[in-house]
Amino acid sequence: MSTRGAERKIRIGLLGCGVVGAGVVWAVAQSERRVARRRGVQLEVVRIAVRDVDRPRPQHVDPLLLTSNWRDVVTAPDVDVVVEAMGGLSPAEEAITLALRSGKHVVTANKQLIAARGEVLSELAMSIGRSLLFDAAVGAAIPVLHVLDSYYGANHIIALRGIVNGTSNYILTQMDRDGLSFAEALREAQAAGYAEADPTADVEGWDALAKLQVLTRTAFGLSVPADGVARSGISSVQREDLALAAELGWKLKHVVEVTVQNGLVRARVGPALVAPSDLLFGIDGVHNGLVVSSDLAGDLLFAGAGAGAEPTASAIVEDVLKAVEQVGGTTRAAAAESGSSCGTARPTGTGSAQGVKFAEPTARGVVVTLPTSGNNLFGGRAGAELLYHRLAAQPGLLVEQVQPIATTHAEAAWVVTGELVPTVVQQVAQALWRVPATSYPVYGTALPLDGAAAFCEPVRLPSGLS
Ligand code: NAP
Ligand code: HSE
C-alpha cells in the first residue's frame, strides 16, 4: 500500500527481531505517514532475518518477511538500508561488511561491535560512498553522538561524563527507591527489554565501557583500548553503600567519565556518588544522561530514555532517514575525498592510541568506607588523622582534608577532598587497616556536607606536618 505524499520508497532489511528489531517494525508503522509527509519517502520493512523463524513474535511482525538467512537480507536487490539489531561481534560484523559491499547503507545499535570495529567499518563505508550510522548505540533515544559529531565545531570539548547504561541505572534506582534486591531489579530490567542478552555486559560495566569508547572516538577522534580504562560495574554494590549515599542526601550511580589533555586520556567506568548539585543527580530509572563540558558552552546535559524498544527504534529510524538523505546528497562521498569527518555520517576519527597515555581520572572528592565488622576501631577523628597522614605521604595526591562520617552503614567512612585518584585512596585505607575498603568518587559539591548524618570536624593539618 503506498503512502500518500511519498515520492520514493526506502526498503529496510532488518537483521534481528528481538526487543530492538521488533521495535523498529513498530516505529516504522507508527511514523510512516508523517515521514511521507515531511520527507517525501515511504519507509517499509521488506525482509527480516532471525535465528529461529518459529519463535513467537509480536503481532505487528509479518511472519512472511522472516528468514533465518541473514545473507539473503543483506544482498537482496530490493533492500536499500540494512538495520543490524542482532547484537554481538559475529555474525554482525560479517553481515555489515557484506551489506556495505552490496551497496546498502547500514544502521546499527550495536555498541559492542562499533567500539571494537567501528573504525574499520566506517572506513569501508566511506571508501564506497555508503552510510554507516549508529546513533542508537549510545544513549538509545538521545541523539548525543549526532550532537557531538555535528554541533561542536567552534567549541573545544574538555570532558564527557554520564550515565550510559540504562539497566544499571534502573537497578540502582529500584534498589534505592523501592528496596528491591539486586536480583529482583535485574529481572525487571530484563523483562522490560533493557538488558543485553548476557546481562553481565550491563552489570560489570562492559556495555558502558563500549559506549565510552564510541563517545571518545566521536568527541576526541581517539581510539581508547578497553584496557586503558579503569572499569567496574554495579554487581558489587551493597545495600549499605546505597543507604550511606541516601544518608548523605546523595545517590549512587554508575558513571562513565573521560577527559583528554596533552596526550593523557583519563577514563573511568564505575559506581560514583552524585551530590544534589550535580547535573546527573536527577537521572533515574532507565534514563541516561551525558554531560558534555566544553570551553565556550560550558556543561550541557543531554538526557532521556537510555534503553528499551521504542527509544532505540526511534534513533534507528531517524538514522535510516539520515543515511539515505546524506548519501543521496554529496556529503558522504565528499567527506571521503577530502578526508574530513563530515556531517552526521560520523566517521569514527583517525586518532589512534599510539603515543597516548591512559590514567584514572582524579576526583575533587572521594568517599572511602570500611565494611561493618562489629567493632569500632577505625572511625572518628583518630581514624581520619591516620588516613590523612598516609594519604598526604602518597606521591601525586594533593589531600585537602579528611572528614569522618558518623554512619550506621559502614564501620568507618570518610570524605576525602583534594586532587585524588579514587583507587589510590582505597588502596591506602585498605593497607592501613588491613580490611577491604571501598572508594567512590563524588560528583557535585563534596563539602560541606548537608546530609542527615552527624559529622565530626574535618582533619586538615598544616602541610608541614604531613
Ligand atoms: P535481542 O532481543 O536478544 O534480539 C536479538 C535478535 O537477533 C533476535 O531476534 C535473534 O533471533 C536475532 N539474531 C541473533 N543472532 C542471529 C543470527 N545469527 N542470524 C539472524 N538473527 C539473529 O537483543 P536486543 O535487545 O534487541 O538488542 C539488539 C542490539 O541492539 C544489541 O546490539 C544491543 O546492544 C543493542 N541495543 C539494545 C537496546 C535495548 O534496549 N535492548 C538499546 C540500544 C541498543 P531470534 O529472535 O530468533 O532469537
Ligand atoms: N543494555 C543496554 C542498557 C541497552 O541497559 O543501557 C541500551 O544500550
Q: Which residues lie below 8 Å from residue 94, measured CB to CB, with a gap of 6+?
A: none
Identity of residue 232: S
Query: What are the strands, taking DSSP E only, across 389-443?
Result: 398-405, 412-420, 438-443
Q: What is the pLDDT of residue 410?
A: 78
CA 15 / ligand 1 centre spacing (Å) = 8
- Residue 365: helix, strand or coil by DSSP? strand
The sign of the dihedral angle between the CA atoms of 436, 442, 445, 450 is: negative
Ligand nearest to the CA of 202: 2
Cell of 35: 515521514
Residues marked as catalytic = 211
**Tens place of pLDDT per residue across the chain (466 aa):** 455 566 799 999 999 999 999 999 999 999 999 999 999 999 999 999 999 999 999 999 999 999 999 999 999 999 999 999 999 999 999 999 999 999 999 999 999 999 999 999 999 999 999 999 999 999 999 999 999 999 999 999 999 999 999 999 999 999 999 999 999 999 999 999 999 999 999 999 999 999 999 999 999 999 999 998 999 999 989 888 999 999 888 999 999 999 999 889 999 999 999 999 999 999 999 999 999 999 999 999 999 999 999 999 999 999 999 998 875 433 322 333 333 332 333 333 334 556 789 999 999 999 999 886 655 567 788 888 999 999 999 988 899 999 888 887 777 889 999 999 999 999 999 999 888 999 999 998 765 554 433 344 566 654 444 3
Residue pair 193/19 in contact by the 8 Å Cβ criterion: yes
- Alpha-carbon separation of residue 180 from 124, 174, 184, 247, 402 (angstroms): 46, 6, 6, 18, 33
Q: What is the pLDDT of residue 356?
A: 84
CA 40 / ligand 1 centre spacing (Å) = 30
- How far is the C-alpha of 82 from the C-alpha of 334, rounded, in Å? 22
Among 163, 196, 288, which residue has the most ligand 2 atoms within 8 Å of its CB, making it the best to mutate?
196
Q: What is the CA 444 to chain-centroid distance, rounded?
A: 20
Q: What is the pLDDT of residue 297?
A: 97
Identify the structural domains of the chain with CATH numbers, from first to last: 8-142+310-337 (3.40.50.720), 145-306+354-358 (3.30.360.10), 362-443 (3.30.70)
Nearest atom (ligand 1) to Cα of 84: 29
- Residue 282: helix, strand or coil by DSSP? coil
Instruction: Name the closest-CA residue to atom 7, ligand 2.
Output: 307
CA 89 / ligand 1 centre spacing (Å) = 12
Residue pair 362/258 in contact by the 8 Å Cβ criterion: no
Ligand nearest to the CA of 306: 2
CA 202 / ligand 2 centre spacing (Å) = 7
Ligand nearest to the CA of 87: 1
- How far is the C-alpha of 462 from the C-alpha of 402, rounded, in Å? 13
Question: Of 372, 369, 394, whose CA–CA distance to 383 is shortest?
Answer: 369
- How far is the C-alpha of 177 from the C-alpha of 171, rounded, in Å? 10
- How far is the C-alpha of 85 from the C-alpha of 76, rounded, in Å? 17
Question: Of 313, 323, 319, 316, whose CA–CA distance to 104 is shortest?
Answer: 323
Q: What is the pLDDT of residue 12?
A: 98
Q: What is the pLDDT of residue 320?
A: 98
pTM reported for the whole predicted model: 0.92
Q: What is the pLDDT of residue 5?
A: 61
Q: Which residues lie below 8 Å from residue 313, measured CB to CB, with a gap of 6+?
A: 20, 23, 24, 26, 27, 136
Work out the burial of residue 269: count CB atoms within 10 Å of its CB; fewer than 13 is exposed, 13-18 middle, 19 or more buried: buried
Nearest atom (ligand 2) to Cα of 168: 5
Residues in contact with ligand 1 by the CB-under-6-Å rule are 16-21, 49-52, 55, 70, 85-87, 91, 109-111, 136, 140, 193-194, 196-197, 307-308, 312
